[in-house]
Structure 1
Amino acid sequence: MALHIPGLVAVVVFYALILITGIWATKKSKKEEKKCVGERSEVSMLGGRNLGIWLGIFTTTATSVGGGYILGTAELVYLPSKGFLWATGPIGYTISLILGGFFFAGPMRVKKYVTVIDPFQKKFGNIVSSILVLPLVMSDIFWAACILGALGGTMKVILDIKSQYSILLSSIVAICYTLLGGLYSVVYTDVIQLIFIFFTLWLCIPYILINPAVTNIWYTATHEVYQAPWIGFLELEDAGIWLDEFFVTCFGGLCCQPFYQRVLASSSVKHAKIMCLVSGIFCLSLGIPPMLIGAMAASTDWNQTSHGLPTPFHNGDGKNILPLMLEHLCPTYVSIIGIGAVAAAVMSSVDSALLSSSSMFANNIYKNIIRKKASDQEVLWAIRAAILVFGIIAMSLAMASSSIYELWFLSLDLLFSLVFAQLVCVLFIPVSNGYGAIAGLIMQLTMRLGGGDSALHIPPFICYPGCLIKHNSYVQSFPFKTLSVAVTLLTIVIVSSLASLLFRRGLLPVRWDIYNLQINSRNRNQEEPAEEICLGNSETEGKEN
């Protein structure tokens, strides 16, 4: 196969359009920086907190619908060992955004935090927040790597370009415009990218449906024709694994800094909530095309296509099933347009992931721990340096990844297993404190790592009920990830309550009270009467007036 010149030209034009838009957006960023003298770093991270509702909906949807979401969903539906029942991403992301709108957006936006780590740093201290930054940053890097790998595979299939070259080019473009304009560049390029994603994905569907090599997908959903039915199977022994995957996609997204970056940048609490709810609906609608393409791939007689036999599954090329369908079952111009969809999905998430991880590092680690007296200009340079470093790491991982879905799921798994319980406690459970958070971290790490992880090649040292050995590796059929989160939540509440009781009653020495529970308790007790007197005076004054 020769280099596809028209396709290459189309990709270069698309990248140029994105880069120009990103550069144009820097003008708005500069204007906001002039309005907020001394807070330029916050403008870079949150854009002046004046994100409009429709712009917010576009950028939140585009951030969720990345290359991992699109190609990973198609991959799962296509694989005979998985199928539609295992493609929990679209419904999970939708539930995540709706829950975020109803419960999480309000408390975060009202307090005007800068990152998702801020409430932890304020309530649990630097030790806990520093530890929690690690899974959050790692999650962003895995997420960026996953979607860069998705684009690399697509261009390799359709344009016959080595995936390393396309990953390198995409990384450079995303890093450049994220460095230039911060959140504004990310948001405005997201608008273009979401339009590309929506129209190009739906454009490909009719061409694949009418291809003579594709059997009726309603029939192949429940009947084996070329491979196992694409609807998939869910055996009782796999129910625990499915539950874990479902809860990971539902609740892992609630811990993502890119999500809160949009929430905190919104112009009001009301807009933040509406933005989340509408984005959830859009996210679900954009999950339909990759699911259909995966189903049609499972219903395709590959011997009738230019691909021929063996099938992509037998070639070990399941992760590239969506670009393979575009190349072999669509006209050339449609497959080229399809590249635009994948490239748009990649760009819309890579820039968000890089800005997200860099914001947490600069604001919560560099500014609040390493250099507490750092100037605003210094924090800006820390953001830029982190974008560059994290971008290079993500690019390197993308070149070495073997499965798009694996990296995509791993990024959510880190958040659900290590952050979700802590986030619920810090936002909604007043009794929680640093002592409970530390105990929770120990419990989380023990139970989660104890179950092992095949993606990270970590062998288990805890055999939960139903632990089996398949293909020379351990498989935990029990939903141990969900169990670890539930136990961690309970641990934080119990230890926090116990620590509070022991210190406030003087049963433990004051010198051990590193979180000042006794002092805070006394301050609250002293403040309450003062507030009552103040209220009483105001009421009296009101009556007199």
Structure 2
Amino acid sequence: MLNNNNTVVIATFALYFVAMFIIGFVAWRRSSDFSDYVLGGRSLGPFATAISTGASEMSGWLMVAMPGAAYLSGMSSFWIAAGLLTGSLLNWLIVAQRLRVYSFVANNSLTIPEFLAERFQQNTKGLRLVASLFIIVFYLFYTSSGLVAGGKLLNTVFGMNYELAVVLGMLAIVSYTFFGGYLAVSWTDVLQGIMMLFALVAVPVAAVTELGGVEASAASVRDASPYLLQWFSDASSGERLTWIAVVSSLAWGLGYFGQPHALARFAGINDHRNIPFARRVAVSWTAIGLVCALSIGVLGHGFFPAGIDDHERIFMFMVDMLFNPIIASVLLTAILAAVMSTADSQLLICSSTIADDIYKSVFRKHATQKELVLVGRLAVLGVSAVALMLALAPDSDVLALVSYAWAGFGACFGPTLILSLYWKRMNQWGALSGIVVGGFSVIVWSWLSGGIFDLYEIAPGFVFSLISIVLVSLLTEAPLASVSYQFDEMQHELQEKQKEALA
């Protein structure tokens, strides 16, 4: 339990929750059909798209797991940040604009499985169902990581029972996601993203000031351990990083290409011509956040040189030590905002996948819009309940849960989505094999250890998926001429719109 005034923190948390509920209510009034619930009618502006994308991609991971990793391993954690920043930039450059145009042309596809089905058109029911199942499975782990982070926050701040803290966090997230859908999630993510950035910048600035400047801060960190400021040595063990460790860290960037909650932001922007501006804002937000998160973890040794029981709580402990109760309550609320910003997006994607890609596609082809919204809202409750059960173990590790889900999405959908946007010869069998091979490669690789199997599972999963798509597509029948023609038209339309934007 932290030392700050609980009354002030409770009041700040309560005010924040009220704001989220109001946003959810307004979004509920604006959502008239399933398209509004899932993608907000593709009406989100570039700034909101950029900030909500960054917030939903990073979440509590950026404020809990990343500072924790840096506190544990020192500057060697930089390689994870470098991989993530590169992946974020490439995702905006390679995927964003094409997905916005193609998903709309492809019968206004609302989800990634639906886009793949519309992209290939022939024998795609199995593809859509398999893609949906992998999304649900990996999101259960991802969403549970957010609940774990929220539980650790409330437990640390108030000394609250961990299980109760997780349940309360889940109820808060579910409330506005259940009613407001995409607009509620995106609007709240904008507020949450701004709060996250403020907190991430404020803590290292205050820490350096408290320690007496940059040189004094570096000296205090070196005094704690000579390995903390070395980029190629793990401070937790003092050993040099192997090539496997460096490649594994950089490979985190591959995960961006397959994250459905981030890809939904690309599809939901109001105009593809706003993508370049959104890209600049989003990548800048990510860069600042990653640098500050690393700094918080490393600088933490200047205040806690003897170590702490749970390294993933370092951000919370530093906030408590450096700021008065009022400022601290705002910064701690930013951690809660970070947790909620991704968990709500994940719940919404699961909801839309279950309603559109399973319920409508498999069971009720002619389901009404109101019916789909109802099924989507019930799916939010069901997925939340399962994720809650995964999160209730008090020794759950946020980084471990995120890394597994991140790898799963990156390997399943990254190669599949990129090639579907760029390669006309790709067919439905290649897409199906890419998803299955990528997903099972991650699952199997994560069970193995020693030697090459210590490589982060996203790297082999991504490569195996890519190879599988190419081989299976070439060894099976080419797409129908009509599908290839439609894809040509989609490419031509994008090129023409890009020329118009440049003119």
TM range (shorter): 0.7 to 0.9
The corresponding residue for 1:70 is: 63
**Distance in 2 between residues matched to 1:176 and 1:229, nearest whole Å:** 42
Deviation at residue 384 of structure 1 after TM alignment: 0.3
The corresponding residue for 2:499 is: none
1:208–1:330 contact (8 Å) kept in structure 2 = no
2:139 corresponds to which letter in structure 1? D
The corresponding residue for 1:294 is: 297
2:408–2:438 contact (8 Å) kept in structure 1 = no
Name the structure where helix makes up a greater proportion of residues. Answer: 2
**Distance in 2 between residues matched to 1:9 and 1:377, nearest whole Å:** 37
Q: Does 1:428 find its partner at 2:422?
A: yes
2:301–2:307 contact (8 Å) kept in structure 1 = no
2:361 corresponds to which letter in structure 1? N
Structure 1 479/183 Cα, relative in aligned 2: closer, same or farther at 3 Å?
closer
The corresponding residue for 1:98 is: 89
Alignment of 1:468-483 (within 5 A): 468=451, 476-478=453-455, 481-483=458-460
Alignment of 1:190-201 (within 5 A): 190-201=189-200
2:184 corresponds to which letter in structure 1? S
2:255–2:458 contact (8 Å) kept in structure 1 = no
**Distance in 1 between residues matched to 2:61 and 2:456, nearest whole Å:** 23
1:297 corresponds to which letter in structure 2? G
Q: Which ranges in structure 2 are unaligned for 5 or more consecutive residues? A: 234-238, 490-503
The corresponding residue for 1:337 is: 330
1:256 corresponds to which letter in structure 2? Q
Deviation at residue 213 of structure 1 after TM alignment: 10
2:111 corresponds to which letter in structure 1? T
Deviation at residue 380 of structure 1 after TM alignment: 0.9
The corresponding residue for 1:114 is: 110
Name which of 358, 361, 368 aligns with 1:365: 358
The corresponding residue for 2:370 is: 377
Alignment of 1:210-289 (within 5 A): 210-211=209-210, 216-219=216-219, 223=222, 225-226=224-225, 228-234=227-233, 238-247=242-251, 249-289=252-292
The corresponding residue for 1:471 is: none
Deviation at residue 479 of structure 1 after TM alignment: 6.2
1:116–1:257 contact (8 Å) kept in structure 2 = yes
Deviation at residue 194 of structure 1 after TM alignment: 2.2
**Distance in 2 between residues matched to 1:182 and 1:442, nearest whole Å:** 29
Structure 1 136/245 Cα, relative in aligned 2: closer, same or farther at 3 Å?
farther
Deviation at residue 301 of structure 1 after TM alignment: 4.6
Name which of 7, 15, 21 aligns with 1:13: 15
Name which of 463, 466, 483 aligns with 1:486: 463
**Distance in 1 between residues matched to 2:383 and 2:166, nearest whole Å:** 14
Larger relative CO (CA 8 A, sep 6+): 1 or 2?
2
1:44–1:183 contact (8 Å) kept in structure 2 = yes
Q: What secondary structure is seen at the aligned counterpart in 2 of 1:430?
A: coil
2:246 corresponds to which letter in structure 1? W
The corresponding residue for 1:306 is: none
Q: Does 1:154 find its partner at 2:153?
A: yes
Q: What secondary structure is seen at the aligned counterpart in 1 of 2:383?
A: helix
1:153–1:163 contact (8 Å) kept in structure 2 = yes
Per-residue Cα deviation, 1:442-466 (whole angstroms, up to 9, x for no partner)? 5445644443x2xxxx3x3xx8xxx
Q: How many residues of Structure 1 are paired with residues of Structure 2 in the alignment?
A: 470
**Distance in 2 between residues matched to 1:323 and 1:365, nearest whole Å:** 41
Name which of 1, 17, 24 aligns with 2:26: 24
Q: Which ranges in structure 1 are unaligned for 5 or more consecutive residues? A: 34-39, 303-309, 469-474, 502-516, 532-545
Deviation at residue 323 of structure 1 after TM alignment: 0.8
Q: What secondary structure is seen at the aligned counterpart in 2 of 1:286?
A: helix
Structure 1 331/524 Cα, relative in aligned 2: closer, same or farther at 3 Å?
closer
Q: Name whichever of 369-378 and 211-220 sits farther off.
A: 211-220
Structure 1 204/368 Cα, relative in aligned 2: closer, same or farther at 3 Å?
same
**Distance in 2 between residues matched to 1:431 and 1:494, nearest whole Å:** 11
Name which of 387, 395, 407 aligns with 1:394: 387
Q: Name whichever of 380-389 and 8-17 sits farther off.
A: 8-17
Deviation at residue 227 of structure 1 after TM alignment: 7.0
The corresponding residue for 1:4 is: 6
1:86–1:242 contact (8 Å) kept in structure 2 = no
2:55 corresponds to which letter in structure 1? A
**Distance in 2 between residues matched to 1:220 and 1:6, nearest whole Å:** 32
Percent identical pairs in the alignment equals: 20
2:51–2:281 contact (8 Å) kept in structure 1 = no
**Distance in 2 between residues matched to 1:226 and 1:190, nearest whole Å:** 37
The corresponding residue for 1:404 is: 398
Structure 1 131/177 Cα, relative in aligned 2: closer, same or farther at 3 Å?
same
Structure 1 487/167 Cα, relative in aligned 2: closer, same or farther at 3 Å?
closer
Per-residue Cα deviation, 1:360-407 (whole angstroms, up to 9, x for no partner)? 221111111222122222111111011111122223323225211111
Structure 1 6/28 Cα, relative in aligned 2: closer, same or farther at 3 Å?
same
Structure 1 203/490 Cα, relative in aligned 2: closer, same or farther at 3 Å?
closer
2:98 corresponds to which letter in structure 1? P
**Distance in 1 between residues matched to 2:483 and 2:335, nearest whole Å:** 54
1:265 corresponds to which letter in structure 2? G
Q: Name whichever of 205-214 and 10-19 sits farther off.
A: 205-214
Structure 1 57/160 Cα, relative in aligned 2: closer, same or farther at 3 Å?
same
2:282 corresponds to which letter in structure 1? S
Q: Does 1:140 find its partner at 2:139?
A: yes
Per-residue Cα deviation, 1:89-113 (whole angstroms, up to 9, x for no partner)? 5443433332222221222211212
Structure 1 53/380 Cα, relative in aligned 2: closer, same or farther at 3 Å?
same
Per-residue Cα deviation, 1:287-320 (whole angstroms, up to 9, x for no partner)? 2322221011123355xxxxxxx621xx3x1121
1:118–1:364 contact (8 Å) kept in structure 2 = yes
RMSD (CA atoms): 2.9
**Distance in 1 between residues matched to 2:416 and 2:75, nearest whole Å:** 32
Provide the TM-score with structure 1 as the length reference.
0.78
**Distance in 2 between residues matched to 1:276 and 1:367, nearest whole Å:** 34
1:384 corresponds to which letter in structure 2? R
* Max Rg structure: 1
**Distance in 2 between residues matched to 1:44 and 1:273, nearest whole Å:** 26
**Distance in 1 between residues matched to 2:36 and 2:290, nearest whole Å:** 32
Per-residue Cα deviation, 1:79-134 (whole angstroms, up to 9, x for no partner)? 0xx32222445443433332222221222211212112223223261223322223
Structure 1 206/159 Cα, relative in aligned 2: closer, same or farther at 3 Å?
farther
**Distance in 1 between residues matched to 2:10 and 2:372, nearest whole Å:** 38
**Distance in 1 between residues matched to 2:436 and 2:232, nearest whole Å:** 36
Q: What secondary structure is seen at the aligned counterpart in 1 of 2:41?
A: helix
